[in-house]
Amino acid sequence: MNLTQFINHVDEYAAKLTSEQLKDFIHNIARSLPEISRSDFLAKLHNIKDKQELDDEIISNIQKELQRLAKELHKINNGELCIVGNLEYCHDYGYDYDEKYSFSDPDGVIKIIDEEDNEYEMEMQAILRAAGGKRGEEL
């Protein structure tokens, strides 16, 4: 059996176990470890908790930021925030007219839209990391 098949079987069996059964299983593995492997095993157990807490914190922060951005995007959609544009006619020394468009962003609309794009990317990375995947991989 190759590694992929093995991991799939392990995941399938682990999904059917209760929390108590998984704790017993981990306990039995720990009992059978040689002394040289024990500190590495404990470090791996400790990293699982730290990684989950970090992922939860990242996801919570991203959710708060997305809520803030949703309010800003709602203001943009309602016209409360906008980009200002001006069309200026420039007269030449003849009959030619030249049109000049100028834009300003006093409300920071472009920055808000750019932040929204960045937050979406961060959210996707956090979700993939929490699911154990990497960007570009299928889950």
Among 114, 113, 133, 116, smallest CA distance to 125 is for: 133
Q: Which residue has the higher pLDDT, 23 or 93?
A: 23
H runs (alpha helix) in 33-108 = 35-77
Q: What is the dihedral of CA 129, 132, 137, 139, to 10 degrees?
A: -120
At residue 16, the pLDDT reads: 92
Residue type, 74: H
3 state DSSP class of 123: helix
Place of tokens 């807490």: 53
**For the whole model, what pTM was predicted?**
0.39
Task: Kindly tell me if the per-residue pLDDT of 133 is higher than 70.
Answer: no
